Amino acid sequence: MKTKFISLFLLAFTMFISAQVGINTETPSTTLQVKGKDVANKVEGVLIPKFTGDEIFNMPITVTPATTGVTSTVSIANEANLVYATSAASSANQDKNGRGEFLTTSGFFYWDHPTQKWRRFFVATSTAAGNDGVVKINGNMSPATMSLGAISGTFGTEKKIAFSSPLVYASAPTTSWPENTPGYNDTSVNKDQYVYLDGKLRENNIEGQVHIWRLIITAEAGSGSSGSVKAALKNPDSGFIVNSIVLLPAASNFNPGPVLTFYFYTIADQQSLALSPSTRGYEIWLSADMTVTARLVSLTRVSLFKD
């Protein structure tokens, strides 16, 4: 009789734990339902486990070795595991090819088994969050003034735009660094290396992300003259070149001259990201088919949101 009682109890208990579970409700409508009931007098909600970015990075989720292709059962079992990062992971744990690539800020993160990475659960699609952003350089472009001229009635010798560190950035909200930039919200951190390094302009460090570059100059020419100014965005490593040509209005013989705006579009890839070697990136060259005094005003890099 005692044995039968225990068996019936275990059967009833098994049925109970396999049923729907409700907290503060006797009629849950799904597997687990938590119902708040006294928000006027106490804090209601669900607290997700909190860890630092480095603690999350170091969790024993076995990453599938790329060389063997062996699937990790631990990784599969933790697919969609949700945690809250109280801080970003250290720079060493944010390697582009590692599991902590996106642990660049605080927030909710989940384990994504197919990509073997911790991914941010909520990513806004505005220029103030996520991997999108705007970086505008207002100063320390060198030389500040360029003398351009024609050769045999066509575009003359190109001259390269250089920069001097530290760069001068437009203040927020005009400049809003992508959140995957280390120290993105810390004005005391020098972020020149994330947009300019070794004489090259850099994209945001996410492969496949689209970028728009806007160069603004003024161009002073002789009275009654007409012609054009060409800006060329070049990647010396890959041979990629995109030209942007703007017509110079007649009667541009005043200082500083009319404003000319040039646009370029690039997609970050292994030939442009400054990963290895670190000298990869872009250069901007100016030329004209008439005598022009060009003065550099600003350069803006817009990183479009990439999922």
CATH classification at residue 242: 2.60.120.1120
Confidence of residue 270 (pLDDT cuts 50, 70, 90): confident
Q: What is the pLDDT of residues 209-240, one digit of tens each?
A: 999 999 999 999 866 567 899 999 999 988 99
Query: Is 44 within a domain?
Result: no
Residues 20 and 103 both lie in one domain: no
187 and 272 part of one domain: yes
Tell me, yes or no, whether 249 lies in a domain.
Answer: yes
What secondary structure letter does DSSP report for 290? S
Instruction: Looking at the structure, tell me whether residues 158 and 247 fall in a common domain.
Output: yes
Backbone φ and ψ for 292, nearest 5 degrees, come out as: -140, 140
Shared domain check, 292 and 260: yes
Same domain, 271 and 164: yes
227-261 burial: b if 16+ Cβ within 10 Å, else e: bbbbbbbbbeeeeeebebebebeeebeeeebeebe
Please state which of the ranges 77-91, 94-108, 111-125 shows the lowest mean pLDDT: 111-125
141 with 269, same domain?
Answer: yes
Parent domain of 172? 133-303
Total number of residues shown for the chain: 307
pLDDT tens, residue by residue, 189-205? 888 888 888 788 999 98
Do 27 and 59 share a domain, yes or no?
Answer: no
Is pLDDT of 8 > 50?
A: no
Q: 44: Cβ–Cβ under 8 A, 6 or more apart, which residues?
A: 36, 37, 38
* Inside any domain, residue 258: yes
- Do 70 and 199 have their domain in common? no
Tell me which of 156 and 72 has the higher pLDDT: 156
Taking only the tens place, the pLDDT of each residue in 28-77 is 888 888 888 877 788 888 899 999 999 999 998 866 555 555 556 778 88
- Residue with the larger pLDDT of the pair 101 and 299: 299
| Averaged pLDDT, 284-290 | 95
Question: Residue 103 in contact with residue 93, Cβ under 8 Å?
Answer: yes
Instruction: Look up residue 114 and give its two tokens.
Output: 């197919």
Residue 84 token pair: 């809250």
Same domain, yes or no: 184 and 272? yes
Tell me if 42 is assigned to some domain: no
Name the band, by pLDDT with cuts 50, 70 and 90, for residue 24. Answer: confident
The rounded mean pLDDT for the chain is 83
Task: Find residue 84's DSSP bridge partners.
Answer: 50, 108
Mean per-residue pLDDT for 241-261? 90
Q: Which residue has the higher pLDDT, 145 or 181?
A: 145
Task: Note whether residue 61 is domain-resident.
Answer: yes
Contact 237, 293 (CB under 8 A): no
Give mean pLDDT, residues 281-300. 94
- Look at residues 98, 120, 142 and tell me which one is the last residue of a structural domain: 120
Note whether residue 127 is domain-resident.
no
Residues 259 and 147 reside in one and the same domain: yes
Domains of the chain: total: 3
Strand partners, 234: 241, 283
User: Does a structural domain hold residue 298?
Assistant: yes
Q: Is residue 285 located within the same domain as residue 149?
A: yes
* One-letter amino acid for residue 269 of the chain: D
Residues 281 and 157 in one domain: yes
How many whole angstroms separate alpha carbon 292 and alpha carbon 288? 7
Residue 17 has phi, psi (to 5 degrees) of: -75, -15
